Structure 1
Amino acid sequence: MFEKSYRDRLEADLAQWEADGVIAPAAAASIRNALPPLPAGINIAVVVGIVGGLLIAAAFLAFVAAHWTEIARLLRFAILLAGMIATSGLGAWFAASGRNVLADLCASVGAIIFGAGIALVGQMYHLGDDFAGGMLLWSIGAFAAALLTGSRGALAVGLVAAGIWTCMRIYDAPDVLHLPFVAVWLIAASLAFAWNSRAAAHLVALAVLPWWIATSLRFEFDGAQPSFVLANGAALLFGAGLALAAWPSPRALRLGTVLSIYGAFSLAAVAVLEVTTVDDFIRFRTGTASGQPLWAILCGAAGVILALVSATFTKRAGEILGACATGLVLLAAPIWPVSTAGEPWFAYAALLCAMLCLVVSGVLDDVRPRIVAGWLGIAGVIAGITWAVKGSLLRRSAFLAAAGIVTVVFATALNRALPRAAR
């Protein structure tokens, strides 16, 4: 929730409660006085200043690029070093004067110049042709800048560089699980936790997705299906987010909530992929052994267990249903047909039930992103069953009709079981 919108709503509620006589004016004044001051926002002057600074920087880079071959090597290095020093000095000045947005921008630009310096120095002195290693070095420098300055932009630069690094390593060695990225990601997650920043939490949650996607696409296991490998990653992200949010800490709550939201949307996306891609460019397995690597299965199981552990501590029924949704998405893998004959009705039913559980989970816990993810998953799975899977359209229509009837019966039973206030 954005702080400004929360304050506006709180002020409206306080005024309404005072008018209705629910609270005394003195109590409302005490609440207002207890609130910390709002952080400074980005006004028009700051926006114009940012644009002006970016234009000056672009002009400087264009001028240097136009005369790059005419500049001596030592002078080139001095220009790069001066750029990093200048951005650091400006950032420190902006931070001392309370202009945090501009200070963050300077740290981000400095991290970018550092990466450009790595590339240009390597080109000038004909260093080793290890582009992925250069990206790792860039990432380390950006993380150091983020740690020293608290810059969210520098953290974003470091995560992007780390993402490119791990994707290149996975491409070079597709049969080897690239675990060093996990260590780098944990460092970034620790920074997001220490900062208690929602923006940093979003960056960390986004950064893990390219690694898992690249890993699932490049591992050449016999009969492995990338959508099922992705499902295990989504399960771990969702379950770990719920477990982290269950800790009695505001920092853990903020980071865990964001991770669980991305996990919920990942579960919905994977459910749609399992339906729409398995007949097209992912062949059915002809054996009975699992098509998923053991480490991926363990990650998925850990996600379900963590979600159940979180539900045990928080006593939230919605998290139990979230664990059920996760388990059903994972269950669609082993119950998928072992031959190309027929259609996987049980897998379709499991995925529909999973997305329905996700919606109900979000409703019970009052988590709107989880509700949206569940609805998107339901829409995508229904569309996949109807149009993207080969087979008899009549049978699919009968299956969807039966699923609809079962859902209506379930809704009726749920409406009678819930208290009137919770309906």
Structure 2
Amino acid sequence: MFDKAYRQRLEADLAQWEAEGVIAPAASASIRNALPPLSPGINIAVIVAIVGGLLIAAAFLAFVAAHWTEIARLLRFAILLAGMIVAGGLGAWFAATGRSVLADLCASIGAIVFGAGIALVGQMYHLGDDFAGGMLLWSIGAFATALLTGSRGALAVGLVAACFWTCMRVYDAPDVLHFPFLVVWLIAAAVAFAWNSRVAAHLVASAMLPWWVATSIRFDLDGMQPSFLLADGAALLFGAGLAIAAAPSPRAQRLGSVLSIYGAFSLAAVASLEVMTIDDIIRFRTGTVPAQPHWAILCGVAGVVLALASAGVTRRAGEILAACAIGLVLVAAPIWPVSAAGEPWFAYAALLCAMLCLVVSGVLDDVSPRIVAGWLGIAGVIAGITWAVKGSLLRRSAFLAAAGVIAVVFATALNRMLPRAGR
């Protein structure tokens, strides 16, 4: 909460209130004294030092790579081990002197060098070609570094390695769901919760997307529809984020708000993807396999339930509309195959209504990312209806015109109702 932007806005407000006589100068001074000190930011000297350190590290790696075949195996391993020791030592020194950004950078470099050491040992001693297992080992080492040092960069390295691990496992065994990644992800989410870090929350939220994408593509091999599975994942991420943010804990609120933002953007992206790609796939799909597995449908339903539960706790009308947006995107999935013989107008209408609900939800709750996601979703759905779907251009134009008229009528009704509610 007490970031630089907030403090600047608060300082401006205090100065204005003091000038207008709203508060006394003593009260203004008391408020300033009660605020905790700002954490040191990244200044020009730190930026130059980071660039210099990266250049030195790149030069070292380039030199070693140029003479790699001429260096003995034991010396290669010693070089990488020395790199981890030096990175750790420098990180400890930077942390002791209060240079947290440089300390985080050193921990990240140490985690990367650890991954290079795993690859080196596997190459030198001709270990099994289990690249996914190597990625898992790298992820475990990076997570251990993050837990010991509190490094956000090491957490990012661990999550990236874990994402490569799960994608490789899905590719090697497409007939088996890779649930072990969810255990790793939950551990990372617990770390982000304990740190109360928005950066860590962003890392955790973005790490969930590759698993859903890889899983959805894997199910396409069975004749299922990847876009519908992505919609279920976005629904669960959005609803779970809203539910976590409804908890009284500030840590939960920070983590949940970030998860809900990623869920909102994912929902908007899936709505656009459904319109742009799904019609031809469903129309020409000859398999008898259902478009969604049952576990994915349950995930989508859980997203709606969690969003409604969050609305019941917070009493926010915007979250009710967010639950409606999730439900409408999910409803479009069963509507689509029914309309395989022609244009799926009801599915289009459901997706447009869903994105409109998302925008209004963000406006009511004053959540700007949700508003942006809704507008992007509206633009994507309209673009898909207009250009990406085969069929009569006249019918599509008539549908869009009718949708526009309905939206204008709805806006007029709201404009007349809101002043009454205000009175």
What's the TM-score once normalised by structure 2's chain length?
0.97
* Closer, same or farther: CA 90–73 of 1 in aligned 2, 3 Å: same
Q: What amino acid sits opposite 2:78 in the alignment?
A: A
What residue number does 2:100 align with?
100
Task: Check the 8 A contact 1:286/1:339 in 2, yes or no.
Answer: no
Q: Take 1:40 and 1:275, find their aligned partners in 2: how far apart are those partners?
A: 47
1:285 to partner: Cα distance: 5.1
Aligned residue-pair number: 423
Q: What amino acid sits opposite 2:62 in the alignment?
A: A
1:340 to partner: Cα distance: 3.5
Same amino acid, percent of matched pairs: 85
Q: Take 1:187 and 1:11, find their aligned partners in 2: how far apart are those partners?
A: 39
Q: Take 1:238 and 1:360, find their aligned partners in 2: how far apart are those partners?
A: 16
Task: Check the 8 A contact 2:220/2:226 in 1, yes or no.
Answer: no
* Closer, same or farther: CA 288–416 of 1 in aligned 2, 3 Å: farther
Give runs of aligned pairs for residues 80-119 of structure 1, distance below 5 A: 80-119=80-119
State the Cα deviation string for residues 4-29 of structure 1 (Å, max 9, x = none).
11111110011111111111111111
Q: Take 1:332 and 1:290, find their aligned partners in 2: how far apart are those partners?
A: 15
Give runs of aligned pairs for residues 311-330 of structure 1, distance below 5 A: 311-330=311-330
1:76 to partner: Cα distance: 1.5
Runs of 4+, deviation exceeding 6 Å? 286-289, 420-423
The alignment partner of 1:71 has SS state of coil
1:401 to partner: Cα distance: 1.3
What residue number does 2:205 align with?
205
State the Cα deviation string for residues 376-412 of structure 1 (Å, max 9, x = none).
1111111111111111111111111111111112112
Task: Check the 8 A contact 1:284/1:339 in 2, yes or no.
Answer: no
Task: Check the 8 A contact 1:278/1:284 in 2, yes or no.
Answer: no
What residue number does 1:398 align with?
398
The alignment partner of 2:42 has SS state of coil
Q: Take 2:262 and 2:177, find their aligned partners in 1: how far apart are those partners?
A: 23
1:2 to partner: Cα distance: 7.9
Task: Check the 8 A contact 1:239/1:306 in 2, yes or no.
Answer: yes
- Structure (1 or 2) with the greater helix fraction: 2
- 2:147 matches 1:151: no
* Closer, same or farther: CA 222–56 of 1 in aligned 2, 3 Å: closer
Q: What amino acid sits opposite 2:24 in the alignment?
A: A
What residue number does 2:180 align with?
180
What residue number does 2:29 align with?
29
Give runs of aligned pairs for residues 145-294 of structure 1, distance below 5 A: 145-220=145-220, 222-281=222-281, 283=283, 290-294=290-294
Which one is further off, 219-228 or 18-27?
A: 219-228
What residue number does 1:123 align with?
123
Unaligned runs of 5+ in 2: none
Q: What amino acid sits opposite 1:272 in the alignment?
A: S
- 2:336 matches 1:336: yes
State the Cα deviation string for residues 9-61 of structure 1 (Å, max 9, x = none).
11001111111111111111111111111110111111111111111111211
Q: Take 2:339 and 2:380, find their aligned partners in 1: how far apart are those partners?
A: 24
Which one is further off, 107-116 or 395-404?
A: 395-404
- 2:295 matches 1:304: no
1:417 to partner: Cα distance: 2.5
State the Cα deviation string for residues 170-200 of structure 1 (Å, max 9, x = none).
0111121100000001111111111111111
The alignment partner of 1:335 has SS state of helix
* Closer, same or farther: CA 163–277 of 1 in aligned 2, 3 Å: same
Unaligned runs of 5+ in 1: none
State the Cα deviation string for residues 105-153 of structure 1 (Å, max 9, x = none).
0000000000000001110111111011000000000000000000000
Which one is further off, 390-399 or 323-332?
A: 390-399
Q: Take 2:95 and 2:393, find their aligned partners in 1: how far apart are those partners?
A: 64
What residue number does 2:138 align with?
138
1:70 to partner: Cα distance: 2.0
The alignment partner of 2:363 has SS state of helix
Q: Take 2:2 and 2:375, find their aligned partners in 1: how far apart are those partners?
A: 24
What residue number does 2:388 align with?
388
Q: Take 2:420 and 2:194, find their aligned partners in 1: how far apart are those partners?
A: 42
State the Cα deviation string for residues 282-322 of structure 1 (Å, max 9, x = none).
54556897410111101000000000000000000000000
Task: Check the 8 A contact 2:386/2:397 in 1, yes or no.
Answer: yes
Task: Check the 8 A contact 1:337/1:343 in 2, yes or no.
Answer: no
